[in-house]
Amino acid sequence: MPEPETPATPVTFPPAFLWGAATSAYQIEGAVREDGRTPSIWDTFSHTPGKTAGGEHGDIAVDHYHRFRDDVALMADLGLTAYRFSISWSRVQPTGRGPAVQRGLDFYRNLVDELLAHGIKPAVTLYHWDLPQELEDAGGWPERDTAYRFAEYAQIVGEALGDRVEQWITLNEPWCSAFLGYGSGVHAPGRTDAAASLKAAHHLNLAHGLGTSALRAAMPARNSVAISLNSSVVRPYSQDPADLAAVQKIDDLANGVFHGPILHGAYPETLFAATELITDWSYVQDGDLAAIKQPLDALGLNYYTPALVSATDPDSDGPRADGHGASSHSPWPGADDVAFHQTPGERTEMGWTIDPTGLHDLILRYTREAPGLPLYITENGAAYDDKPDPDGRVHDPERIAYLHGHLRAVRRAIADGADVRGYYLWSLMDNFEWAYGYEKRFGAVYVDYATLARTPKSSALWYGQAARSGTLPPVASAE
């Protein structure tokens, strides 16, 4: 057992640890009609009445497309050593197939060069939920062809940036793409079809496998390829066997459906059994599982809050509290007999309970699940109702406490033997939080949406100090 920590114990990270921040294209870029870009499913969805808070959309977002040089300078000023961003597929391949648009690729090449010039390591995510609308019109992720299109796109971007970007992530949180996009419909494209959501999950897995092979063929061998999963930490409400069975079901649908084929080359048998009335899985073709299980160089884990589940209690069937938005359609196919409960404890502005022990548990679980595979925390962070003081400064002690707690949990996991190589705070700056619009602020940097001016919050300064020194400053130090 490691020495127990006291509040005075300095929390110091390995020297090569990456201190990053993360964003995604649709959430920050804006410029949705410039330089040949065409609509993605998120353009269409956010412009459909009733789909996002206040009808908000990413047309301008935080105008990163035009301000990227200032944004990189800001990251460098703060002291960040890594930056994870995503590529807008319809900016580089407007119809989702065929030749690339050079201007689109140039934007990302310029961004990468700017990062490298400031000593910041770029990590590219190929797909953070913004499917070209033309591919959705052709069937979207439930259609097998979308996986082939993704592999072609991966090859294009790998060839264009593989000489200067070492860290690659195929997909961000395929769970959200499949089950919020095609199951509960709270995300684009907003379909509510349980069978389609499982089909989408398989084709996302296939896209990851084929995309990984395409990247390897297009890039120098030194580059690293990973995927970012929002694997859930699923906890039982009690030790009752029915509650433990509920945990198994949700664990399969949240985690096993992706890490099963990706890491182990098989879907969980229990997943097939739980979903047999919804789908027969006949779209899993011969050879698919081998194509999906590609050797990886790292695994990205995104963590915000744990889940607490039980078997449904027929007497108290309250509202679902799985934290993934309101819909009369469940994002959990075949799990109508499972109830989600609010985890006790303080919550962020999203209503998500703050529980750093979940991050520790998640890291250790994947240390066992994927022995020897380096791990990165590719997202972690919190939304708060931040407001500038009269002097223009933005104090966010709650976010500092959140980051401190979660980084300590990462450090504890490293002490327990986990190979965690870096941490990307979500998010660099306030941005378009999908169906929640601009209402939820996850940024370490405050954005004034009237002027688009950026102001580092006290958490950004605190995190910058951590990045520069490799040791967590005390929580009050940046206030």
Catalytic residue IDs: 173, 379
Contact call for residue 26 and ligand FCB (CB under 6 A): no
Exposed/middle/buried for residue 79 (C-beta within 10 Å: 0-12, 13-18, 19+) = middle
By CB under 6 A, name the one of 83, 442, 462, 463 that touches ligand FCB. 442
Among the listed residues 45, 150, 332, 426, the single contact to ligand FCB using CB under 6 A: 426
Query: Would you count residue 170 as binding ligand FCB (CB under 6 A)?
Result: no
Tokens found for residue 10: 């300095």
**Residues 391-410 vs ligand FCB: string with x where CB under 6 A?**
--------------------
Which residues have CB under 8 Å from 261's CB, separation 6+?
205, 209, 267, 288, 289, 292, 293
Q: Are the C-beta atoms of residues 201 and 230 closer than 8 Å to each other?
A: no
Under the binding rule (CB under 6 A), the answer on residue 434 touching ligand FCB is yes
What strands, in cross-sheet order, belong to the sheet with 338-341? 234-236, 307-311, 338-341
Helix H or strand E encompassing 364: helix 356-369
CA distance 361 to 406: 12
Q: Does 85 bind ligand FCB (CB under 6 A)?
A: no
Name the segment binding ligand FCB (CB under 6 A); options: 90-98, 172-180, 242-250, 254-262. Answer: 172-180
169, 126 in Cβ contact below 8 A? yes
Q: Is 200 helix (H, G, I), strand (E, B) or coil?
A: helix
Minimum CB separation from ligand FCB for residue 231, in Å?
12
Task: Tell whether residue 172 is a contact of ligand FCB (CB under 6 A).
Answer: yes
Rounded to a whole number of angstroms, the minimum distance from the CB of residue 119 to ligand FCB is: 26
CB of 468 to ligand FCB, least distance (A): 26
Tell me how far apart the alpha carbons of residues 13 and 270 are, in angstroms, rounded to a whole number.
39
Among 433, 446, 455, 461, binds ligand FCB (CB under 6 A): 433
CA distance linking residue 291 with residue 303, whole number of Å: 27
* 24 lines the binding site for ligand FCB (CB under 6 A): yes
Q: Where are the alpha helices (DSSP H) in 162-256?
A: 174-175, 194-218, 241-251
* Contact pick of 379, 396, 398, 430 for ligand FCB (by CB under 6 A): 379
Q: How far is the CB of 466 from ligand FCB (least distance, A)?
A: 21
Interacting stretch for ligand FCB, rule CB under 6 A, among 13-21, 169-177, 238-246, 279-287?
A: 169-177
Closer by beta carbon to ligand FCB, 22 or else 413: 22
- Could you tell me the smallest distance in angstroms from the CB atom of residue 86 to ligand FCB? 9
Q: In the range 292-321, which residues lie near ligand FCB by CB under 6 A?
A: 302
- 192 vs 186, 187, 195, 383, CA distance in Å? 9, 10, 9, 27
Q: Which two tokens stand for residue 161?
A: 């940036």
Among 230, 279, 367, 458, binds ligand FCB (CB under 6 A): 230
Nearest to residue 408, comparing CAs of 355, 366, 444? 355
Residue 210: CB atoms within 10 A of its CB come to 23
Binding flag, residue 173, ligand FCB (CB under 6 A): yes
* Contact flag: residue 275 with ligand FCB (CB under 6 A): no
> Please, what is the minimum distance in Å from the beta carbon of residue 269 to ligand FCB?
28
Rounding to the nearest 10 degrees, give the CA dihedral for residues 91, 95, 101, 105: 40
- Minimum distance from CB of 433 to ligand FCB (Å)? 6
Give the nearer residue to ligand FCB in terms of CB position, either 248 or 427. Answer: 427
Residue with tokens 């605190």: 462
The verdict on 353 binding ligand FCB (CB under 6 A) reads: no
CB of 436 to ligand FCB, least distance (A): 8
Nearer to ligand FCB among residue 68 and residue 127 (C-beta): 127
Q: What is the rounded distance in angstroms from the CA atom of residue 334 to the CA atom of residue 294?
A: 29
In the complex, which residues of this chain contact ligand FCB (CB under 6 A)? Answer: 24, 27, 172-173, 176, 230, 302, 379, 426, 433-434, 442
